[in-house]
Amino acid sequence: MIEIERALSMILERARPRAAERLGLDQSLGRVLAEEVISDIDSPPYDKALMDGYAVVASDLRGGRDELIVVDEVAAGDMPCEPLQSGMATRIMTGAPVPRGADAIVVDECCQLDQAGGIKTVRIDDRGVRPSQNILGRGRSVRRGEPVFQVGRRLSAIDAGLLAEVGRTQVLIHPAPRVAVLPTGSELVPACDVPGPGQIRNSNGPMLCALVSSAGGQPVDLGIARDTESELAHQMNLGLQEDILILSGGVSSGDFDLVPRVLRDLGVEQVFHGVRLKPGRPLWFGVLSHAKGSRLVFGLPGNPVSGLVCFELFVRPAITALAALPQKSRPTIAARLSVPFRHTGDRPTYFPVGLVSDGDRTLARLLDWKGSADLRTLACADGLAQFPAGRSEYASNETVQVMLLERGLFGN
Ligand code: AMP
Ligand code: MG
């Protein structure tokens, strides 16, 4: 057995960012940019009206004139025909190009159109018109040739919009790591089936796929493999095509815990088996050298809660590294225990807790957890309280660190 920190560093030493690829904006969300992005145009490309109203010469109105002749009308997508001269106005819609000679837009609310006698005039009730009012000048947002994003930026939805604005349909990014998920166990049936005698539903598969997505990976659901060498080898071979293969179950010391042996037969080199951790001790980790870059393989214990803890401590950081994202430790808060806690003290222990606010402090309520298979209780947890090894007794009111779960972050 190795310590948690040692296990994590052995994983991260082997987790290299995926090579950057030129991909469409539809795949850019959350990805890390591997190039500088430069604008190919001035944006906006023309002086642009920001409101519906009338384009005017501001000095006309400040000089006391309040009635202007309407000489043109321009909508978004049109080009103005007439340059504007003193005494004139152009009806203009939001997004349309401002005519030459105009330097302000007066909003509709301050304008009254008069069409009497076939001549259109507009009376303007605004003496405070300033030059540039309601106009975004050409290139005011971004200049042609100007960098808009640097290498290393994690792209957001807004960024996708700005990339399109500066002419990019594709960008060089580190793609989402592809993560195969393969639960193993002859007792497992898919969620759509009613379990027969001795069977349970595969809850780890959907949970792990969702965790992979939440970590920025692209899950590849491989269904279920029963505990036979041939079926495991067949399914594992599919999973070894991906950047990461996550297995669940079959890594302990039972007669049908075949996963480590089959992985070794497939050429996956074991890096470690066993971590000083509760729950999650049987964790297996190995690497397959592959022409297209090495594959990381995690054998998580089958118990759902053990699998979750191992995912958060070890798999999530690996996905983060392959995605070229900076490592961030999981959000952790200090909370006081609402009741005493006792554990064996031989391994660092993670225990599910609900968090309750009590004035200016946070209370950690230990859940009535019925062992590491108890997903039902875990679904009520806001976080996992951390109890280091070496001490087994904790009094109520003592402060502990609580690693927040996703649910805790969203607060639902
Ligand atoms: P194992 O690690 O294979 O010894 O499995 C440990 C426990 O987790 C057993 O009680 C299994 O039935 C349960 N288990 C294994 N795989 C899954 C799964 N995919 N979904 C739900 N429970 C599982
Ligand atoms: Mg099993």
Cα(53)–Cα(107) distance, rounded to whole angstroms? Answer: 4
Cβ–Cβ < 8 Å for 241, 297: no
DSSP 3-state of 25: helix
pLDDT tens-digit map of 47-105:
999 999 999 999 999 888 899 999 999 999 999 998 999 999 999 999 999 999 999 99
> What is the model's pTM?
0.91
Note the ligand closest to the C-alpha atom of 303: 1
DSSP 3-state of 130: coil
Cα(233)–Cα(118) distance, rounded to whole angstroms? Answer: 86
Structure tokens belonging to residue 101: 């000679």
If you measure from the C-alpha of residue 26 to the centroid of ligand 2, how many angstroms do you get, rounded to a whole number? 39
Provide mean pLDDT across the span 244-273.
96
**Which pLDDT band holds residue 283 (cuts at 50, 70, 90)?**
very high
| Residues having CB within 6 Å of any atom of ligand 1 | 183, 185, 187-188, 200, 202-205, 248-250, 252, 254, 301-304, 373
DSSP 3-state of 261: helix
CA nearest ligand 1 atom 16, residue? 302
If you measure from the C-alpha of residue 304 to the centroid of ligand 1, how many angstroms do you get, rounded to a whole number? 7
Provide mean pLDDT across the span 310-320.
97
Instruction: List the domains of the chain with CATH numbers.
Output: 4-18+175-322 (3.40.980.10), 29-41+142-174 (3.90.105.10), 48-136 (2.170.190.11), 332-410 (2.40.340.10)
The residue whose CB lies within 8 Å of the most ligand 1 atoms, and thus the one to mutate among 181, 204, 207, 255, is 204
Note the ligand closest to the C-alpha atom of 195: 1
Cα(205)–Cα(189) distance, rounded to whole angstroms? Answer: 11
Q: What percentage of the chain has pLDDT greater than the value 90?
A: 88
In DSSP notation, 163-178 reads: HHHTT-SEEEEEPPPE
If you measure from the C-alpha of residue 237 to the centroid of ligand 2, how many angstroms do you get, rounded to a whole number? 19
What phi, psi does 10 have (nearest 5°)? -65, -35
Angle at 94 between CA 44 and CA 147, to 5 degrees: 15
